[in-house]
Amino acid sequence: MTSIAASSSADPKPLVGVFDSGLGGLSVLSVLHRTLPEHPLHYVADSAHAPYGERTDEYVAARTLAIGGHLVASGARLIVVACNTATAVAVAALRERWPEIPVVGVEPAIKPAVKTSASGRIGVMATPTTLRSAKFQRLLDAHGGDATIVLQPCPGLAGQIERGDLDAPDMVAMIETFCAPLRDARVDTVVLGCTHYPFVRHHIQAAMGEGVMLIDTAWPVSRQAARLLGVTPEDAPSTAPVMLQTTGDVAHLRSVVSRWLDFPCNVSAASQI
């Protein structure tokens, strides 16, 4: 995999591009902001075309390449695909189109879940597209081992989270519906297989019970990004600029950012993508 040579302290740090079908990737952006404090970040929320998890593979691939092109043109030297569905469907196409740009994808954390689970009974909450993808099946084959893995598609959940009200009664009811089969299956570990889901982690935890471990992938993604950038991941305050763009409603993104993130961002439209 391509990596970026470390620059001298006098050189500007490479821009890191990040994108998701919408707002879920902000969970990854938040960790990147903490662990890559000197690197400017450019995030694109493709909210006008969200959620990817309910689109065709061809549609997701086309949007992934369009946004990848936008980030490369904006100066990104590394791209983080902060979307499980886009990673599953189109990360290979992204790497083929721009082989000189390192790409970090996200995928459901099956391997750490298998290592963590005491009972070997694991639930995976994800979009229907992620769960039916060949990439996800390969992940199960490689790391599932002898574990009993219960797949729980969550149609509509990412879209509900996109609306921004994380405590809406409809949201809580939807989460309860999706968690009930996992409780019945007596899983002791649940993989959050969509970057939107960490924002409603408190509701998922309440529905599953305190004894169930929830696992997502933001920290492993940040460590991989740091490795490719040739830097040591830190957990330090950042003064590097963060640009957020959306293909959807700019006012909505500003409102969500003010409630979900604890650092300043420059928010603008990306309607040209």
> Known binding site for substrate: residues?
20-21, 52-53, 84-85, 195-196
Contact 66, 36 (CB under 8 A): no
Q: Could you please report the per-residue DSSP string of 165-183?
A: -TT-HHHHHHHHHHHHHHH
Active site residue 194: yes
Cβ neighbours, 10 Å, residue 80: 29
Active site residue 83: yes
Q: Both tokens of residue 169?
A: 């009664």
- Name, in order, each residue with C-beta under 8 angstroms of 163's C-beta and a sequence gap of 6 or more: none
The residue annotated as part of the active site, out of 154, 179, 194, 265, is: 194
Alpha helices in the chain (DSSP H): 26-35, 57-73, 84-97, 110-116, 128-132, 134-143, 157-162, 169-184, 201-208, 218-229, 250-260
Dist. CA 189–CA 116, nearest whole Å: 8
Q: Both tokens of residue 254?
A: 């500003």
Phi, psi of 257 (to 5 degrees): -60, -40
What are the angstrom distances between the C-alpha of 237 and each of 31, 33, 116, 228, 257? 11, 8, 30, 21, 18
The residue annotated as part of the active site, out of 83, 154, 179, 265, is: 83
Dist. CA 197–CA 152, nearest whole Å: 13
Where in the sequence numbering do the catalytic residues fall?
83, 194
